[in-house]
Structure 1
């Protein structure tokens, strides 16, 4: 959905916190604002993915501030979020990042 508030994360966060796992949910642009592309060179599209890449950069830059481990970051998603996570896993824009991926309810038709 691109909206971190859609899924009930409270129980996930409580479960993770009991295991000293930090949970970060992000929002990203969707639809034409997130993925518009055209033949115009200034409209490269995939702005939603760019938002996610910036979120990973922020997490990496700030992980130590909330006792996080830079060497143990997992990027995951459900549905379209899982598709985005799989794209991020192979993107040249994330080549210098170290993270694992978790895909849930994900299929291409």
Structure 2
């Protein structure tokens, strides 16, 4: 038999950060790899909800694996985001407040530019 690969914290944290970026891009309706898998679905409004759900599931899965393997994954998120991940439910609150500055005047002005 071959040599067993070592479980590497850096690898999992990198994958966690990739999943975080994908989820954040899905929240912002930006292009992700998922768009390439289903290009014919881009015209359907429900596609964006499904895309967010898939990205959220990936993020939860990798965070769960990091937790089981005792890797420090919480440092990659704000305390508020850690709370959302620990609650595991992708609610309207997560969608609206993942980016903590969503409710600030600066965020609203940046969106208008």
TM-score (norm 2): 0.34
Q: Which has the larger radius of gyration?
A: 2
Which structure has the highest helix share of the two? 2
Which structure has the highest strand share of the two? 1
